[in-house]
Amino acid sequence: MFTAIDHIGLVVADLDAAIDFYRTAYDVTEWERIELPERHALIGVARFGDVLIELIAPTSDQASFARFLREKGPGMHHIAYRVDDIYAALATLQARGLPLIDREPRPGIHDTLVAFVHPKAGGQGVLVELVQHRSPHHR
């Protein structure tokens, strides 16, 4: 089902401060900034080989990430795995009884479709995102 790790999402309180930290501490200098006003978030994305790091900063208390930040503080929010067919992956997971946050995929960044599996699935405690790339140049 999973073909690769697509990205790791980290929630941060201040996107600029987090990007500055990664630049200074780890020499990560190439960042793409993405505004998602409909999700009340700013995202900084850096590529490490084929894997992305997403730094996610809520821009209002309406963001789902704002609650995470209040309750748990900054840190790892989710791990995203690539799938070839997100519809088939969701159907398989549902048939296996895994609790899904999204029963239908939604648009993601970089011309993707995404869906989330509840962190309670299998008692693992990790929010899993499924990602299907629709455009081969962003893989």
User: Which portions of the chain are predicted below pLDDT 50?
Assistant: none
Angular region, 122: left φ>0, alpha ψ -120 to 50, beta rest: left
Question: How high is the pLDDT of residue 122?
Answer: 85
Tens-digit pLDDT profile for residues 11-48:
999 999 999 999 999 999 999 999 999 999 999 999 99
The DSSP secondary-structure symbol of 104 reads S
The domains located in the chain, with CATH, are 4-138 (3.10.180.10)
Question: How high is the pLDDT of residue 112?
Answer: 96
Task: For the chain, give the number of residues.
Answer: 139
Distant-in-sequence, close-in-space partners of 65: CB < 8 Å, separation ≥ 6: 11, 40, 41, 56, 57, 58, 77
pTM of the model: 0.91
